[in-house]
Amino acid sequence: MRVLLREISKRFGAVQAVADLSLTVESGEFFTLLGPSGCGKTTLLRMVAGFAAPDRGEILFDDRPMTAVPPHRRDTGMVFQNYALFPQLSVFDNVAYGLRARRIPSAEIRERVLGILRMVQLDHLTDRSPGQLSGGQQQRVALARALVIRPQVLLMDEPLSNLDAKLRVSMREEIRRIQKSLGIITLYVTHDQQEAMAVSDRIGILSGGRLQQVGRPSQIYFAPQNRFVAEFMGSCNLLEVAVVAYDGARQLVQGELAGSRIWLRAAERPEAASLTLLLRPEWIELATQPPADGENWFPGRVCSATFLGSVVTYQVEAFGGRRLTVEVQDPRDHELREEGGPIALHFDAGRPVVVHP
């Protein structure tokens, strides 16, 4: 089983919500649609569910065209952002609702409901109403209700956005565990980058209704294909560097920024006269002295220092007044630098990533 989207487009008046989007989600894959509000990710999910119809394009489950198939015949399970539980029904009856609508025999309903509630660790709360549950418990009821009908495709629309930060972490781990144990193809929508990286086999980054990049979380983080992806996927520093020279023997590009030389490892000389370089904050080191080769060592000034337990985040002014974010990981023995004080930065020539517009 796989989900195929072929040149899907959807417009709401003057707004192009989704534009000529093609995508394949493979069997058993946890695929996340990630992007800012209004980028088209929920619209795309609703079209897969059948709650909205594309203006153009095809939706297929394997080789079966689904574009004209109504939602209740698509064999999908949906978990909504607000859970959409029936307040007057018990946990058991909420989960059993879809099975009863399908006229499943009572004995089988009981067996399947109790089985899925054990999986989400709620079998001891079958008689409770949704109003007697915590946010995390309500989320698990909604997940159980979507899974108990044994759908071919599980669709989840920002299911953790109503939970507090600590509970979101535990619930995303639970969702990942359940999805992998069932091996069900899952389309997941979120705007939270950390959440997407934690649960996904692959991620599709959307902006303006178009896919900007599709890949594994590590691919997107370490090798973003364009500036939007680089800035959206985690904290970053972008430096506009003029190409000055290329050392073929050492495979090093020499660039210039605000009077400073920047060295970048590259297999060949770039064709462009200037490059946009991505430097993640954790790729930059605080240096006490210049490296032996003298490359990529720069003075700066501390603008702010923030201690966050596992990391110290600095805002540093360098390169003629440009602001950089620098992170010190595991700072137990790190002496916090004073605001306004001098600081020196260093990064390896193999660290910067060239990003395109």
CATH number at residue 344: 2.40.50.100
**Of 232, 248, 270, which closes a domain?**
232
Indicate whether 251 and 341 sit together in one domain: yes
What single string gives the DSSP state of each residue in 13-30? TTEEEEEEEEEEE-TT-E
**Of 209, 232, 255, which closes a domain?**
232
Beta strands 202-207 and 30-34 are: parallel
* CA–CA gap between residue 102 and residue 322 (Å, rounded): 62
Place of tokens 């001098």: 342
Indicate whether 303 and 225 sit together in one domain: no
Neighbouring C-alpha atoms within 13 Å toward the C-beta of 23: 30
Indicate whether 332 and 200 sit together in one domain: no
Which residues, 6 or more positions from 351, have their beta carbon under 8 angstroms from its beta carbon? 279, 283
Contact yes or no for 6/65 (Cβ under 8 A): no
Amino acid at 301: R
Which residues, 6 or more positions from 126, have their beta carbon under 8 angstroms from its beta carbon? 90, 91, 92, 113, 114, 117
Place of tokens 């590590």: 218
- What 8-state DSSP symbol labels residue 226? B
**Mean pLDDT of each 10-residue bin along the chain, 357 residues long:** 96 96 96 95 96 96 94 92 92 96 94 94 94 92 94 93 85 89 94 94 97 97 96 94 95 94 94 96 90 86 96 96 95 92 95 93
Indicate whether 226 and 249 sit together in one domain: no
Across 234-265, b (16+ Cβ under 10 Å) vs e yields bebbebebebeeeeeeeebbbbebeebbbbbe
Indicate whether 187 and 269 sit together in one domain: no
Indicate whether 208 and 89 sit together in one domain: yes
Contact yes or no for 59/18 (Cβ under 8 A): no
Q: Which alpha helices (H) appear in 223-353, and where do they start and end?
A: 227-232
Indicate whether 194 and 143 sit together in one domain: yes
Which residues, 6 or more positions from 132, have their beta carbon under 8 angstroms from its beta carbon? none
Amino acid 288: pLDDT: 80
Amino acid 289: pLDDT: 81
* CA–CA gap between residue 170 and residue 147 (Å, rounded): 19
Amino acid at 103: R
Closest-CA residue to 116 (of 56, 48, 51, 184): 184
* CA–CA gap between residue 176 and residue 335 (Å, rounded): 38
Provide the residue range defining the domain that includes 252. Answer: 237-355
Contact yes or no for 192/203 (Cβ under 8 A): no
- What 8-state DSSP symbol labels residue 217? H
Amino acid 294: pLDDT: 76
Closest-CA residue to 2 (of 197, 216, 202, 142): 202
* CA–CA gap between residue 160 and residue 190 (Å, rounded): 9
Indicate whether 333 and 225 sit together in one domain: no
**Of 214, 232, 250, which closes a domain?**
232
Indicate whether 228 and 242 sit together in one domain: no
Indicate whether 164 and 251 sit together in one domain: no
Q: Helix or strand or coil: residue 3?
A: strand
State pTM to two decimals.
0.92
* CA–CA gap between residue 164 and residue 189 (Å, rounded): 18
Total tally of structural domains belonging to the chain = 2
For 2, list phi and psi in degrees, rounded to 5: -145, 160
Amino acid at 53: A
Indicate whether 113 and 247 sit together in one domain: no
Amino acid 193: pLDDT: 94
